[in-house]
Amino acid sequence: MAQSYYEFFCPVKMIAGHKALEHIPFELTAIGVSRPMIITDKGVRQVGLVDHVTNAFDGTDREVAAIFDDVPPDSSLKTVQAAAKAYRDQQCDAILAIGGGSVIDTAKGVNILVSEGGNDLTKYSGAHNLPKKLNPLFVVPTTAGTGSEATMVAVISDTEKETKLPFASYFLMPDAAILDPRMTLTLPPHITAMTAMDAMTHAVESYTCLSANPMSDAYASAAIRKISENLMDVMATPDNAQGRLELAQASTMAGAAFSNAMVGLVHSLGHALGAVCHLPHGLCMNLFLPYVLDYNKSVNGDKIADLLLPLAGADVYANTPQAQRADKAIAHLRQMRDELFERCNLPRTLKETGKVERSQIQQIAEKALDDGSIIYNPKEASLEDLIQVLEGAWE
Amino acid sequence: MKKHNITVGLEKAYVTTMMTIVGRALISASQYDDEVRREIAGMPTGYVLSMTVMPSGPGFTLRAEKDGSLTWLSNDTPADLTIRFKHLEHAFMVFSFQESTSRAFANDRMIADGEVSQAIRLVRCLNKLESIILPKVVAKLAVKRYPEKLAVGEKFSKALRIYAGVTQQIVKGR
Ligand SMILES: [Fe+2]
């Protein structure tokens, strides 16, 4: 690369570790918030995670002014409008999002409406269509995967038009991300595995795709190391609080990396497979990751080779000749997938999902070709290339 | 006039010319190249795409027709997809083939306003166009992967038709 250029932006305050939730009241007070509204979903509330947060307000002079817990698994315009109404009715002045990707995206959408006024979210869709800073938004992730607490994007479904509206703006970056081990402690094994492999993919793609830069590389490699070192421990002992916290941090770091360095073909194929066959995002990431790295290797084998160090540790890295490091890194990821398959049946091939027909490959390839992330993939991919990768991932 | 101003003036003139040539060449390519035509046919009929430089041009605006061809529109036509270079210099780098379109995207040189999937189609069309009309050594720098299947004969005859098409359009002023 002759003349490089990059941008890196991540103004999110990280509040992470033991008793992190108890810092929320102070942080809200510090920026003048008095009536925060919690946005969450019923599942998160039922398992008592919202209580952890509201309890943190006990004995302080702040309180939670409202709780909106009606976020469906796929955030929609209607949900955003309903939550915005609740915010206005209760005269709230900040949002505290507690949940996974859908809750965080919904919260970002709500924040646009309550900050900008009106009820029409569609006019802010697209890139850089917000004129000014929004109201305060704090995020407490309950999965360790999406990384949305550190990104400037949100996707909201328009269920009537059956489209997904993308939003990208610097002002969609949350003000703070609160990572507390209590919030991910009860995540079931297969969700833990899927979301961790989503975070892994964010980090790997940030590091190996076209927009990679020194800042995002630092976040990405640190995230990969944390996931490799902790995922299997957490799978074996789910109540390992420190391991949970490490995964949560890795997810946020990977989010900061990919918000700046973007993602590539694993996501193009994953978005397409998810849409065509209704499979969870993390599952699709875990499935395609090694196949895409194999495909890209001829173009950026040197970057893939770097990954062996954070993936497998210093000894393995030092004992592997440079020429074999890329293959070894991919093999290491395959080995992780095998272990996850043993532990929670996380599929490694299209056939193993039991939800994909071989005849759907053409349709998936066509959809992937139109996916935004394909432009950041280091190696050009034609329809024929995509079909080949998909055929390779069949069994 | 300061030297810098002269450079800016020249770059602006160059980018203005190149915007016209690339826009016109896309129209020609949509007639002579199956791949480009397929990409355009995949866009909604009547989809208006525009490529421009902030704050106020130069640029080109095209409309995707049902059969996969493109037609020229005036730059004040409202577009469904607008790709805006943040600075004249960034457009100059792309149109003098010092930075590929994909790399320019990756480097945040421009903002795509509109449906991302259509922006990607446009980038693929530009890649194909550059592979056809540029000498291979230059094209290899301008695109991620030079199409292995593009035979010299095909490249030459298509390039000729596209150049001829551009000249004709400019002369006729359509
Ligand atoms: Fe992802």
Pick the residue of A170, A303, A370 with the most B CBs within 10 A to test the interface with B by mutation.
A370
CA of B51 to the centre of ligand 1 (A): 30
CATH number of A369's domain: 1.20.1090.10
Omega within 30 of 0 (cis) for the link into A378: no
Q: Chain B contact for A370, CB < 8 A?
A: yes
Domain ranges in chain B are 2-164
* pLDDT single digits (tens) A245-262: 999 999 999 999 999 999
CA distance A372 to chain B (A): 5
| Same domain membership, residue A328 and residue A242 | yes
When pLDDT is cut at 50, 70 and 90, the band that residue B172 belongs to is low
Pick the residue of B54, B84, B92, B115 with the most A CBs within 10 A to test the interface with A by mutation.
B115
| Same domain membership, residue A368 and residue A223 | yes
Is residue A5 in a domain? no
Prediction ipTM score:
0.83
Question: How far is A168 from A289, CA to CA, in rounded Å?
Answer: 25
* pLDDT single digits (tens) A105-138: 999 999 999 999 999 999 998 888 899 999 999 9
Would you say A196 and A230 are in contact if contact means Cβ atoms under 8 Å apart?
no
CA of B29 to the centre of ligand 1 (A): 36
| Same domain membership, residue A374 and residue A231 | yes
| Same domain membership, residue A82 and residue A230 | no
Is residue A153 in a domain? yes
Is residue A3 in a domain? no
Chain B hits for A211, Cβ within 8 Å: 106-108
Given A157, A183, A209, the domain boundary residue is A183
* pLDDT single digits (tens) B4-61: 877 888 888 888 988 998 999 999 999 988 999 999 999 999 999 999 999 888 999 9
Question: How far is A31 from B49, CA to CA, in rounded Å?
Answer: 43
Q: How many domains does chain A have?
A: 2
Is residue A49 in a domain? yes
For residue B173, what pLDDT is reported?
57
From the list B105, B106, B145, the residue facing A379 with the nearest CB is B145
Evaluated on CA atoms B87, B79, A132, A36, the torsion sign reads negative
| Same domain membership, residue A219 and residue A126 | no
CA of A285 to the centre of ligand 1 (A): 7
Q: Is A380 close to B127, i.e. CB distance below 8 A?
A: yes
CA of A146 to the centre of ligand 1 (A): 6
Question: How far is A345 from A350, CA to CA, in rounded Å?
Answer: 13
| Same domain membership, residue A153 and residue A28 | yes
Q: How far is CA A117 from the centre of its chain?
A: 28
Chain A hits for B123, Cβ within 8 Å: 375
Burial of A72 (C-beta count, 10 Å sphere; 0-12/13-18/19+) = middle
Q: Which tokens go with A51?
A: 């209580």
Q: Which tokens go with A224?
A: 């990969």
| Same domain membership, residue A330 and residue A373 | yes
CA distance A49 to chain B (A): 36
Nearest residue on chain A to B83, judged by CA atoms?
A127
Q: Is B143 close to A380, i.e. CB distance below 8 A?
A: yes
Q: Is B98's pLDDT higher than 50?
A: yes
Q: Which residues surround ligand 1, an ion (CB under 5 A)?
A: A 198
Q: Chain B contact for A298, CB < 8 A?
A: no
Pick the closest to residue B158 from B123, B122, B131 (CA basis): B131
Nearest residue on chain B to A213, judged by CA atoms?
B107
Q: How much is the pTM?
A: 0.92
Question: How far is A80 from A111, CA to CA, in rounded Å?
Answer: 9
Nearest residue on chain B to A381, judged by CA atoms?
B145
CATH fold of B2-164: Nonspecific Lipid-transfer Protein; Chain A (3.30.1050)
For residue A1, what pLDDT is reported?
46
Burial of B141 (C-beta count, 10 Å sphere; 0-12/13-18/19+) = middle
Q: Which tokens go with A298?
A: 């001829």
| Same domain membership, residue A224 and residue A351 | yes
CA of A282 to the centre of ligand 1 (A): 7
| Same domain membership, residue A74 and residue A174 | yes
Given A148, A163, A183, the domain boundary residue is A183
| Same domain membership, residue A176 and residue A64 | yes
Chain A hits for B120, Cβ within 8 Å: 369-372, 374-375
CA distance A376 to chain B (A): 6
Would you say A191 and A211 are in contact if contact means Cβ atoms under 8 Å apart?
no
Expressed as residue numbers, the domain containing A274 is 189-392
Given A150, A183, A216, the domain boundary residue is A183
- DSSP states of A262-276: ---HHHHHHHHHHHH
Pick the closest to residue B69 from B42, B45, B37, B44 (CA basis): B37
| Same domain membership, residue A213 and residue A146 | no
Tens place of pLDDT per residue across chain A (395 aa) = 457 899 999 999 999 999 999 999 999 999 999 999 999 999 999 999 999 999 999 999 889 999 999 999 888 999 999 999 999 999 999 999 999 999 999 999 999 999 999 999 999 988 888 999 999 999 999 998 899 999 999 999 998 888 888 899 999 999 999 999 999 999 999 999 999 999 999 999 999 999 999 999 999 999 999 999 999 999 999 999 999 999 999 999 999 999 999 999 999 999 999 999 999 999 999 999 999 999 999 999 999 999 999 999 999 999 999 999 999 999 999 999 999 999 999 999 999 999 999 999 999 999 999 998 999 999 999 999 999 999 999 99
Distances (CA, A) of A168 to A172, A206, A255, A364, B114: 7, 18, 14, 25, 12
Q: Chain A contact for B150, CB < 8 A?
A: no
| Same domain membership, residue A195 and residue A133 | no
Chain A hits for B130, Cβ within 8 Å: none
For residue A232, what pLDDT is reported?
98
CA distance B24 to chain A (A): 24
